[in-house]
Amino acid sequence: MKNQSIPFSSTHLILIPSYNTGAILQKTVAEILGYHQPVWVVIDGSDDGSEQTLISLEKQYADALYIIHLPENKGKGAAILKGIEQAQLKGFTHVLTMDADLQHSAESIGEFIEKSQKNPEAMILGNPIFEESAPALRVQGRRISNAWVNLETLNWGIEDSLFGMRVYPIEKLIAVMHTTKWARGFDFEPEVVVNLAWTGVKAININTPVRYLGIDEGGVSQFRYLRDNILLIGMHTRLFLGFLNRLVRMGFGL
């Protein structure tokens, strides 16, 4: 269904990777469809039956909602890569990535799309405005990651390295992802934003609210504090070494 009151784009699509997000997936997708179309969902090897919650929406929005089913879980970045490769073949030029757990503000979609349309060569990055309910460890961890990214990109202007609500130029995102075997899991956002900065892609930031839903509200999270922080430490070590190598190649002695 194409609702004339809802923007329908042939260049910008919304892509939602999802792994075992339960009933909240349907709420997320329904909310987003009310602000922008088309919307693609990548079911990343889920085994909780969450994709079944989208059946009624698929029928209602046959022209606006597309589901990609991956047979096994490969990680957020891998799911996004699969989605944007198919999107490029369909003629789309930009993708707005959003999480499947209702954390991202659908009301902000229009601002992201408009900013991207005016700046098609740029990446439009969400800068999260946290509620008091946001886990303190997560907020502090972001500050540390952001400090590393500012160093690795010589203060390119990236205000948040981890927030997943972003518009990317598809061609440029595919290009940087094909240069690395990383950026396939939780490390996707900081890894690609640094690599895009290294290729000269301008960063434009938009302040946007973020919600953290409790378990009683259907909230889910795939974040694992120890596992994912070890992954981020390894990633920033690798990126910093890459940063030093770039300095050497640019003629800066160390």
- Per the CB < 8 A criterion, the answer to whether 97 and 80 are in contact is yes
In a domain? residue 2: no
Domain membership of residue 62 as a residue range: 12-249
Radius of gyration over alpha carbons of the chain, in Å?
A: 18
Residue % of the chain over a pLDDT of 70? 87
In a domain? residue 227: yes
Cross-strand partners of 13: 95
> Tens place of pLDDT for every residue, the chain, 254 residues?
555 578 899 999 999 999 999 999 999 999 999 999 999 999 999 999 999 999 999 999 999 999 999 999 999 999 999 999 999 999 999 999 999 999 999 999 999 999 999 999 999 999 999 877 666 666 677 888 899 999 999 999 999 999 999 999 999 999 999 999 999 988 899 999 999 999 999 999 999 999 877 665 655 665 555 666 677 788 889 898 988 888 877 776 55
Query: For the chain, what is the domain count?
Result: 1
In a domain? residue 92: yes
pLDDT at 158: 97
Convert the pLDDT of each residue in 136-166 to its tens digit. Answer: 666 677 888 899 999 999 999 999 999 999 9
In a domain? residue 192: yes
Q: Which residues contact 59 (CB under 8 A, 6 or more apart)?
A: none
End-to-end CA distance of the chain: 59
In a domain? residue 4: no
Convert the pLDDT of each residue in 72-103 to its tens digit. Answer: 999 999 999 999 999 999 999 999 999 999 99
In a domain? residue 187: yes
In the block, tokens 């499947």 appear at 100
Task: Kindly report each contact of residues 214-217 with a partner whose C-beta sits within 8 Å and lies 24 or more positions away, as own/partner.
Answer: 214/133
Cα–Cα separations (whole angstroms), residue 5 to 8, 11, 36, 66 = 9, 18, 10, 20
Per-residue three-class SS string for the chain: CCCCCCCECCCEEEEEEECCCCCHHHHHHHHHHCCCECEEEEEECCCCCHHHHHHHHHHHCCCCEEEEEECCCCCHHHHHHHHHHHHHHCCCCEEEECCCCCCECHHHHHHHHHHHHHCCCCEEEEEEEECCCCCHHHHHHHHHHHHHHHHHCCCCCCCCCCCCCEEEEHHHHHHHHCCCCCCCCCCHHHHHHHHHHHCCCCEEEEEEEECCCCHHHCCCCCCCHHHHHHHHHHHHHHHHHHHHHHHHHCCCCC
- State the CATH number of the domain containing residue 27: 3.90.550.10
Indicate the pTM of the whole model.
0.90
pLDDT at 212: 77
pLDDT at 142: 82
In a domain? residue 203: yes
In a domain? residue 7: no
